[in-house]
Amino acid sequence: MIRSDVLRDIAPIIRDHLVICNIGLPSQELHMIDDQPTNFYMLGTMGLASSIGLGLAMAQDKPVISIDGDGSVLTNFGTLPTIANNVADNFILLIVDNGSYGSTGDQPTYAGKKTSLAAVASACGCENVVECAAEDTGKTLQAALDSGKMTIIVCKCESGNIKLPVITKDPVVIRDRFMTAVKA
Amino acid sequence: MSISSKLVDDFIANDVSFITTVPCKQLAGVIDEVEARPEIHHVPANKEDEGMGLCAGAFMGGKRPAIIMQNTAIGVTINTLVTLTQFYRMPLPMLISYRGELREPVSCQVEMAVHTKALLNQLHIPTYHFHRESDADEFDTILKYTFMCNKPVAILTDASFWGGYGDQ
Ligand SMILES: Cc1ncc(C[n+]2csc(CCOP(=O)(O)OP(=O)(O)O)c2C)c(N)n1
Ligand SMILES: [Mg+2]
């Protein structure tokens, strides 16, 4: 399974929740598969999906799912100690770990080599860290939502991309629509 | 009243309830004050761009955020300022220690000081420079301005403003 298959699988689970979606192909795929006002698409700023999601989770009570990438977590490693030490039980960080910088052509990341993001998250002090196979992402995510505990999920999937268009929505429209959904 | 408690009083009076910080020696007093106030959720960040991400999320969750950081962090955060804070039009007061100005003891700090205003200017970030203690009288108005226009706004606070660096 590649990232777009994982997103297709979890779309029914996440569609009613607040989602912060990572830059590049993950946002484009989610936008194509199931565009929702509850989706915040990052059009830039690689690395900050987890930080935005945590800030959002701390500021209000609804569940928040950040869909992140292995490369993006590697570039903002400082996020993991911040998450560990500021527990927000309405926050789920779903790292789609395809072992590559997918959006830029699947150059390999260190997460696909010796570095285990789940081990790093645990070492940083995160308490509920689950690594799962791509096929099990849906049930792992549902269990995390049901647990009411802040959870870090590292979904191991294959690298690979589908062809699809960029998002042309204006960023202020994305943000305004999202904030209206947050308040609803 | 100390200058730090005046600044934090102004944050609270303007409903700023989520503040992220990365320390600077000059900011120690104001960070202690932020930590001490129950009205403010203080989240220390490991890097200032990460802090700006937290602030963006808090803003979308309905809170008024702010960041407290050193001017060297302008070099760390340019991409985030333009592709997140400005691109999505989000307000962000940035209370910044302006290291490398008069009375600075550490030569390396001057290297970023000479670029600080030029970079902020290039980024079209409204910038205020507090040099005398009385300059802080405008802090309340600057906060109102920031949340009126939904932009990142820089408040540079130099060593003279903070009363120097102690024993030298
Ligand atoms: C500062 C910065 N460096 C590089 C890029 C280019 N870039 C955009 S997405 C991306 C890959 C992200 O990889 P990952 O988080 O693993 O997500 P994936 O696409 O694999 O799902 C890169 C390198 C960027 N946008 N910003
Ligand atoms: Mg990847």
ipTM for this model: 0.98
Question: How does pLDDT run across B110-122, given as a tens digit for each residue?
Answer: 999 999 999 999 9
What's the rounded mean pLDDT across residues B5-25? 98
Q: Give the whole-angstrom CA distance, residue A144 versus residue A179.
A: 24
Q: Give the whole-angstrom CA distance, residue A21 versus residue A27.
A: 5
Does the residue B167 lie in any domain? no
Question: How does pLDDT run across B116-149, given as a tens digit for each residue?
Answer: 999 999 999 999 999 999 999 999 999 999 999 9
Computed over every residue of chain B, the mean pLDDT equals 97
Q: Which atom of ligand 1 is nearest to the CA of A68?
A: 15
DSSP one-letter string for B62-77: TPEEEEEEEGGGHHHH
For B107, the domain range is 3-160
CATH of the domain at B23: 3.40.50.970
Which among B50, B61, B88 has the least Cβ separation from residue A56? B61
> Is the pLDDT confidence value at B96 over 90?
yes
- CB contacts, 8 Å: B51 with chain A: 51
Residue (of A47, A46, A67) closest to A153 by Cα position: A67
Put simply, whether B49 touches A (Cβ < 8 Å) is yes
The structural domain count of chain B equals 1
Question: How does pLDDT run across A137-155, given as a tens digit for each residue?
Answer: 999 999 999 999 999 999 9
Which among B43, B52, B79 has the least Cβ separation from residue A86? B43
Does the residue B38 lie in any domain? yes
Sheet strands (E) in B111-151: 127-130
Does the residue B165 lie in any domain? no
Question: How does pLDDT run across A77-125, given as a tens digit for each residue?
Answer: 999 999 999 999 999 999 999 999 999 999 999 999 999 999 999 999 9
Question: How does pLDDT run across A75-85, given as a tens digit for each residue?
Answer: 999 999 999 99
Q: What is the pTM of this model?
A: 0.98
Gap from B134 CA to chain A (nearest CA, Å): 33
Computed over every residue of chain A, the mean pLDDT equals 98
Q: For residue B165, what pLDDT is reported?
A: 82
Q: For residue A7, what pLDDT is reported?
A: 98
B38: Cβ–Cβ under 8 A, 6 or more apart, which residues? Answer: none
Q: Give the whole-angstrom CA distance, residue B133 versus residue A141.
A: 52
> Where do the domains of chain A lie, and which CATH numbers do they carry?
3-183 (3.40.50.970)
What's the rounded mean pLDDT across residues B7-15? 98
What's the rounded mean pLDDT across residues B87-100? 98
Residues A171/A178, Cβ–Cβ less than 8 Å: no
Yes or no, beta carbons of B62 and A59 under 8 Å apart: yes
Mutation for testing the B interface, residue in A41, A42, A50, A56 having most B CBs under 10 Å: A56
Does the residue B168 lie in any domain? no
Q: For residue B167, what pLDDT is reported?
A: 55
> Is the pLDDT confidence value at B168 over 60?
no
Q: Which atom of ligand 1 is nearest to the CA of A103?
A: 19
Q: For residue B164, what pLDDT is reported?
A: 85
What's the rounded mean pLDDT across residues A3-18? 98
Considering just the CA atoms, what is the radius of gyration of chain A in Å?
15
Pocket of ligand 1 (CB under 6 A): A 3, 22-26, 46, 69-72, 96, 98, 100-104, 109; B 79
Q: Give the whole-angstrom CA distance, residue A34 versus residue A28.
A: 10
